[in-house]
Structure 1
Amino acid sequence: MQQVKAVVALAKGEPVTLTTINVPDPGPGEALVKVQSCGVCHTDLHYRQGGINDEFPFLLGHEAAGIVEQVGPDVTDLAPGDFVVLNWRAVCGSCRACHRGEPWYCFATHNATQKMTLAEGDRAGTELTPALGIGAFAEKTLVAAGQCTKVDPSARAAAVGLLGCGVMAGLGAALNTGAVRRGSTVAVIGCGGVGAAAIAGAVLAGASTVVAVDVDDAKLEGARAMGATHLVNSRDTDPVEEIRRLCPPADATGHEGGADVVIDAVGRPETWKQAFYARDLAGTLVLVGVPTPDMKVPDIPLIDVFGRGGALKSSWYGDCLPSRDFPMLVDLYQQGRLDLDAFVSEEIALGDVEAAFEKMETPGQGVLRSVVTL
């Protein structure tokens, strides 16, 4: 057992607390990781606000990279000293999805069995719920060994750790779920961290047109830096009409046009409806923004669903397989072909997480990711 400093959400809506927690030594199938960096993701704010579930207190943080310090007695594919990016898809290998060769849809992913606990105050000994099974706003964290993906140890931790959630979700929404190809036309609605990554993924795949849509001019300028070819502020312009204008049909049939792939990185009924109608005929809609439980699919005539054809998809973690995708993307980063550094807006200390949440909720900040570095 070790005691380390960590950021905890003790109750719904309350500011986070920097406190001391107990981290058990790793048991079977587990690994203890010394955290080097962890991005501040909107999902962490959702946890703090009670928007995920009510299993407080939460040990926040999940976009992390670090060094394996100890492993459990049966762990053979990790060793102390390995540089890893943490993931929340430690595939089981035995569910139906894994058996049919689609482990990125695994529904029995592993987390550490032992619980980390509060170490001080009148709630000492209370079990913590780690965000997405990771809990990496901490000097050290305990995870399932399968949550550790080894990557090039010379890579910058603050950059590659972001593959642990938001950046991978956006890249994968374009590359995996949306299957963007060379010459595709793509629109991305919402240009925060996930949307910016979706733009980068579309560019990496060779899209000919990439339309970025947001209500924040600072985010739109960030999207331009990621490779967007056109910017649309939807406060001023109807995004559906503008996407159709910028991605016209390639033939003379006279239909209204639209993008081959439209990615909704916001996750609200109104943006999903915009994405639905901004597609070209037989186009693909990818929902990667996370809605809240109270949101409903907007009222769309069923004949439009039938008549427009194509595919309506949800992207879970960018439909990634960490063991396949993380090393490849880190290699592209090391080669200068994928600018993960561009997502790191600032590096902060553990005690600055609450301030990072405030920036996240303030328009015009231009912050893609605040990254805690230890």
Structure 2
Amino acid sequence: MSHDPHTSGRTGRTGRAVRAAVAVEKNAPVSLETVIVPDPGPGEARVEVQACGVCHTDLHYRQGGIGDDFPYLLGHEAAGVVEAVGPGTEGLEPGDFVVLNWRAVCGRCRACARGRPWYCFDTANAARPMTLADGTPLSPALGIGAFAEATLVAAGQCTKVDPAADPAAAGLLGCGVMAGLGAAVNTGGVGRGDTVAVIGCGGVGAAAVAGARLAGAARIIAVDIDPRKLEWAAALGATDTVNAREQAPVAAIRERTGGFGADVVIDAVGRPETFRQAFYARDLAGTAVLVGVPTPEMRTELELLDVFARGGAVKSSWYGDCLPSRDFPMLIDLYLQGRLDLDAFVSERIALDDVEEAFERMGKGSVLRSVVVR
């Protein structure tokens, strides 16, 4: 049973009343609302949120770019402490420090049955809706909704990690850092001595640089149009930087790899032109990875003969093809050992009231991540 329950008469169930940042309607500024977080049901957990990163995905929700199921409870890159668990929940108890994930694997679908749970086709979210004080159901961003003092998730969305980690840094594994790092390590299969290029060095691209360095890449070429982002990439391990306003990316990458192209090229932008650059900037039999998220109207065209003749692989990366139960604890351990600088991604710590201003700074490219902290 949960502790510190409050009663929401209009919802007819007990729950905790919290402050939260909500996108009430398309393109409207985020507003702070009172939200009722229900007591957890079977297989669910209520988590007291200690920190949550401000991700581009949250802005896409606010803009209506992901769906029209307003109002949205925003926030998903989060870490916190389990406050209560529902009946039948195993391996998780109040007091556990957790990073939240949005792909709680089922263990039963055809992907899981084939030993590929990172592709799980039936991931879980909490069944009980969080609501506004008047009973209006909320749609939690990526099934999490963590721009709040507490949130309700499926127990499988809680990954226990070492509580010595700073929540502001640890929570970023919940989306952007894991997406970029995993695009290099898991999807791209970067190995010792490889050459790697990363196109787009915002939060996800910078994490791909860090992942390539962690994997032992010999040369890491960061490409962007913003000198600040190139500086961030260099600090995280890029050996070369290319300002795409001054040099054509494909030619610049080839120039730095003996004329061959990189073994792995990661597109962290997700536009037709950058995807084409990634395809042609790789070596013969090299790998191109798309981790930047396109919009629905985008189209791309490649010469089919080049697809055949160049060999290799063209992949998309879902959440860095991560398995949270495997990857999050390992990466937190590397962070605590000083081998993975998650602190470098935390540009500023802000209050819940400052989310809208954080979206503005994100749009200007002046931060890697703003993080809401308690």
TM-score by length of 1: 0.96
Cα offset for 1:164? Answer: 0.2
- Match status 1:5 vs 2:19: yes
Cα offset for 1:227? Answer: 0.7
- Match status 1:188 vs 2:188: no
Cα offset for 1:236? Answer: 1.0
Cα offset for 1:14? Answer: 0.9
- Match status 1:279 vs 2:282: yes
Partner deviation per Cα, 1:138-185 (whole Å, 9 max, x = no partner): 000000000000000111100011000000001100000000000000
Of 18, 41, 62, the match for 1:48:
62
Show the counterpart of 2:264.
261
- Match status 1:93 vs 2:107: yes
Partner deviation per Cα, 1:36-91 (whole Å, 9 max, x = no partner): 00000000001111111111110000000000000001112100000000001100
Show the counterpart of 2:310.
308
Of 318, 321, 324, the match for 2:323:
321
Number of corresponding residues: 360
Cα offset for 1:2? Answer: 1.1
- Match status 1:83 vs 2:86: no
Cα offset for 1:107? Answer: 1.0
TM-align CA RMSD: 0.6
CA distance in 1, matches of 2:262, 2:32: 46
CA distance in 2, matches of 1:57, 1:179: 39
- The within-5 A match list for 1:327-342 is 327-342=329-344
CA distance in 2, matches of 1:219, 1:311: 27
> Partner letter of residue 236 of structure 1?
E
- The within-5 A match list for 1:1-374 is 1-119=15-133, 124-248=134-258, 256-296=259-299, 298-363=300-365, 365=366, 367-374=367-374
> Partner letter of residue 310 of structure 1?
G
Partner deviation per Cα, 1:191-225 (whole Å, 9 max, x = no partner): 00000000000000000000000000000001000
CA distance in 2, matches of 1:342, 1:75: 35
Cα offset for 1:362? Answer: 1.1
CA distance in 2, matches of 1:304, 1:26: 53
Partner deviation per Cα, 1:74-132 (whole Å, 9 max, x = no partner): 1121000000000011000110000000000001000000000011xxxx211100000
> Partner letter of residue 292 of structure 2?
G
CA distance in 2, matches of 1:205, 1:299: 32
CA distance in 2, matches of 1:206, 1:111: 36
CA distance in 2, matches of 1:100, 1:271: 33
CA distance in 2, matches of 1:154, 1:230: 34
CA distance in 2, matches of 1:247, 1:39: 35
CA distance in 2, matches of 1:268, 1:305: 18
Unaligned runs of 5+ in 2: 1-14
Runs of 4 or more above 2 Å deviation: none
> Partner letter of residue 261 of structure 1?
V
> Partner letter of residue 288 of structure 1?
V
CA distance in 2, matches of 1:126, 1:19: 12
CA distance in 2, matches of 1:125, 1:293: 33
> Partner letter of residue 260 of structure 2?
G
> Partner letter of residue 31 of structure 1?
A
Show the counterpart of 1:251.
none
CA distance in 2, matches of 1:240, 1:56: 41
CA distance in 2, matches of 1:99, 1:107: 11
Cα offset for 1:299? Answer: 2.1
Partner deviation per Cα, 1:215-256 (whole Å, 9 max, x = no partner): 0000000100001000001011100000001012xxxxxxx4
CA distance in 1, matches of 2:335, 2:55: 21
Cα offset for 1:300? Answer: 1.6
> Partner letter of residue 373 of structure 2?
T
CA distance in 1, matches of 2:257, 2:322: 28
